[in-house]
Structure 1
């Protein structure tokens, strides 16, 4: 069987069909115990193979997805494409990402992880547009940007996708603004952490349930016991909706994020092949108006404790640039 829910990216990539659920690779390498290649490859390939003919699964990697901020994730992808070659080879002239991928996979879309405060977005996107013209990669994305910045960047060069956190415990006003602006501009939204980094699935009952060395132990919502217990109420409420619907909280959360727009692509991470496939199928779950209204009622009437990262405010980690 193949998944049925498909969408397209935006801007210059609007012709590219992708599954409605992407695959985030961060946790495969950003850990003290990296996922073995054979396990990671099985999980990646399972998602790719679940796509219909002519449809790609969006894989989200980075040049800094490792505890040392090194290219371990890209090197993992390079090894994957050595085993499962892609017909498009990466040009040798691409800089660090090109070197990490070793020419085994073409760089399709590039995005800066944050908005550089030292340059205007017009300068940054203008420079990237020049690299596109040189043929170093094909499409420009943006990440952790505000709605206003997205609009400014898109005016310089069509933005194919914007990456922001989208889930039931991070539905900030700016999140909603970016979603609205992206829809208006025809830009795809790569919605990372649709499961609240696993918290919304109910798998964690206390901070100690998080494995040693797991990056989530650094985040204020996970490491602060008071915040953790308070926010479990949100999980309980979402679980009630899922049980009433006859699905798992995981499936509900992914399906709900996917329902937020035609080009909104939830991007859960997984190190397990079976879980990757289940995640990919989640967007096929129909979210009714009753479901959506119930989730929004929870969001609008429940105050989540703790910010999205380290408890030091958005400026410290350059959010909503």
Structure 2
């Protein structure tokens, strides 16, 4: 049976985390979810873990309405109310956006400003275990940005460094400059191509964890939505290529194929997707997001899913077909240029 935990290699030592993490973006992106619900979802997930295993939490400096710091402020309130959970969690935060211009800014000045902003909003209630830029600034040398981050690690203000949406060669370049603890990339049954495979392999060779975000395809692969009209009218996914009406109807076939495998196993398509991502390596950590306790526990239960050789072959066949047949990019056109830096 595959392990339900994995190890993060940080400058201060090895940290054991659950093999499935918890993404927190949806808790504050629209600013409409009350603290009590968010807190219950975080606590429920952490409480379900064995003693000594930390939950990998992923937040963002800009995960709020109009890219504000609502996510960090919510986390600060959580750890203030439940201080005993600080040592039960490993907190990763994405930053690096110039919040005035809302653009990627890897300059020394903005990198310092971003980290200081994150630390300020957390108010010392929880250590910043890992800090990473959400995207790489292609106009600033990578080493310039990493040098600032490394200084904060040296001073003990940040626990470790991460990278996000980078190619394998960029990951290696960064790791040679300063040890990288984790790299975050999108991986799911409908998003698994050559770039993902290269990053996963290089990360394995260098003891770097792969944080695989959107393992359920931003909810599409859960089977919750059967047609475009099922998406709420104000749902931002309506603007994303794969969710738009002309593509939705074609892509739902992928969900049907996953359901044909998950239903006989007595699991949901979401659990099947998360469990499949987890099979890609002992260092690969699926990162589903949730603001609901029941959904969080459903996601984490994917740790108990195992595949027979025949079942895994069937899922892999769906994945291979999806790589060819999926309709639409994973991000709107304006965001695509920042991927795989």
Normalising by the residue count of structure 2, what TM-score does the alignment of the two structures yield?
0.87
| Superimposed CA distance per residue, residues 148-181 of structure 1 (whole angstroms, 9 cap, x where no aligned partner) | 1001111111111111111011112211111111
The structure-2 alpha-carbon separation of the partners of 1:38 and 1:11, relative to structure 1 and needing over 3 Å to count, comes to: closer
How far 1:14 moved relative to its partner? 6.0
How far 1:126 moved relative to its partner? 2.5
How far 1:5 moved relative to its partner? 1.2
| Superimposed CA distance per residue, residues 259-297 of structure 1 (whole angstroms, 9 cap, x where no aligned partner) | 111011111111111221221121121123322221221
d(CA) in 1 for partners of 2:143 and 2:311?
40
d(CA) in 2 for partners of 1:313 and 1:45?
33
Asked if 1:206 corresponds to 2:227, the answer is yes
Q: 1:297 aligns with which of 302, 317, 340?
A: 317
Aligned residues: 311
d(CA) in 1 for partners of 2:307 and 2:151?
41
d(CA) in 2 for partners of 1:205 and 1:83?
39
1:68 is aligned to: 66
Structure 2's unaligned 5+ residue stretches are 92-112
| Superimposed CA distance per residue, residues 200-224 of structure 1 (whole angstroms, 9 cap, x where no aligned partner) | 01111122211233232231111x2
Q: 1:53 aligns with which of 41, 51, 54?
A: 51
Asked if 1:20 corresponds to 2:19, the answer is yes
| Deviant stretches of 4+, over 3 Å | 10-14
How far 1:244 moved relative to its partner? 3.0
1:188 is aligned to: 209
Task: Report SS of the residue matched to 2:60.
Answer: coil
d(CA) in 2 for partners of 1:72 and 1:96?
12
d(CA) in 1 for partners of 2:13 and 2:237?
34
| Contact 1:161-1:190 within 8 A present in 2 as well | yes
The structure-2 alpha-carbon separation of the partners of 1:241 and 1:151, relative to structure 1 and needing over 3 Å to count, comes to: same
1:29 is aligned to: 28
2:103 is aligned to: none
2:127 is aligned to: 106
Report the structure, 1 or 2, having the larger strand content: 2
| Contact 1:11-1:187 within 8 A present in 2 as well | no
d(CA) in 1 for partners of 2:279 and 2:10?
20
Task: Report SS of the residue matched to 2:181.
Answer: strand
Task: Report SS of the residue matched to 2:49.
Answer: coil
The structure-2 alpha-carbon separation of the partners of 1:168 and 1:75, relative to structure 1 and needing over 3 Å to count, comes to: same
What pairs with 1:256-275 in structure 2 (closer than 5 Å)? 256-275=276-295
| Superimposed CA distance per residue, residues 36-88 of structure 1 (whole angstroms, 9 cap, x where no aligned partner) | 11111000000111111111101110000023101111111011111101567
Structure 1's unaligned 5+ residue stretches are none
Asked if 1:245 corresponds to 2:244, the answer is no
What pairs with 1:117-132 in structure 2 (closer than 5 Å)? 117-132=138-153
1:162 is aligned to: 183
CA RMSD of aligned residues (A): 1.9
| Contact 1:30-1:65 within 8 A present in 2 as well | yes
d(CA) in 2 for partners of 1:95 and 1:18?
26
d(CA) in 2 for partners of 1:217 and 1:60?
24
1:136 is aligned to: 157
Asked if 1:147 corresponds to 2:173, the answer is no
Task: Report SS of the residue matched to 2:182.
Answer: strand
d(CA) in 2 for partners of 1:307 and 1:13?
39
Q: 1:255 aligns with which of 256, 271, 275?
A: 275
